[in-house]
């Protein structure tokens, strides 16, 4: 389960489920929202960590592959003191509508004050939408998974 307070990609517009998804259309962009942990040096992923969820809304039509990074930073614009604490790459075939791309507990790191996501599609795509959130547990496991390496 996720809510607007723990959703990195939430942008209210229509008051529907689609508001949780961010359009990924530029060559590189960051998540609509950052999560402010209120302090630096916090270890939020102990014995019962929050789960990272990245889910596709609208499938990628033109995006051949995409790189996403979970980042922590000392400033809310996610540029000052930026560190990458998670990194994934996906092929177009993996970015189908409804696909769960990341479904795992947060790593046990020393996080800075702000958390956010960085998206880098390797070709522009005006149709791809993704949801990124912290949740209290995992999404249901996919029935069929095929881990492949994405090129740039």
DSSP assignment letter at 141: P
Answer whether residue 122 is part of any domain: yes
Query: Would the pLDDT of 137 be above 70?
Result: yes
Answer yes or no: is 145 within a domain: no
Q: Please indicate, yes or no, if residue 149 is contained in any of the structural domains.
A: no
Residue 152 has pLDDT above 60, yes or no: no
In three-state form (DSSP H/G/I as H, E/B as E, the rest C), the secondary structure along 35-73 is EECCCCCECCCCCCCCEEEEEECCCCCCCCEEEEEEEEE
**Tokens, residue 15:** 């008051």
Which token pair is 86? 């998670």
pTM of the model: 0.87
pLDDT in tens, 49-70: 889 999 999 887 778 889 999 9
- C-alpha–C-alpha distance, residues 91 and 95, integer Å: 7
Residues above pLDDT 90, as percent of the chain = 47
CATH number where 34 lies: 2.60.120.1110
Write out the two tokens for 97.
Answer: 């509508």
Domain that holds residue 47: 4-14+23-135
| Domain assignment present for 146 | no
């Amino acid at each position: 389960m996720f809510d607007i307070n723990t959703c990195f990609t939430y942008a209210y517009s229509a008051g529907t489920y689609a508001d949780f998804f961010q359009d990924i259309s530029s060559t590189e962009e960051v998540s609509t929202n950052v999560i402010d942990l209120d302090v630096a040096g916090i270890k939020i992923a102990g014995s019962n960590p929050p789960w990272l969820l990245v889910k596709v809304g609208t499938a990628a039509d033109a995006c051949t592959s995409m790189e996403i990074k979970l980042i922590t930073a000392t400033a809310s614009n996610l540029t000052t003191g930026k560190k990458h604490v998670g990194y994934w790459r996906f092929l177009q075939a993996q970015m189908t509508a409804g696909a769960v791309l990341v479904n795992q507990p947060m790593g046990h790191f020393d996080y800075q004050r702000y958390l956010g996501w960085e998206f880098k599609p390797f070709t522009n795509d005006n149709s791809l939408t993704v949801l990124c959130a912290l949740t209290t547990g995992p999404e249901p496991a996919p029935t069929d998974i095929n881990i492949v390496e994405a090129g740039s």
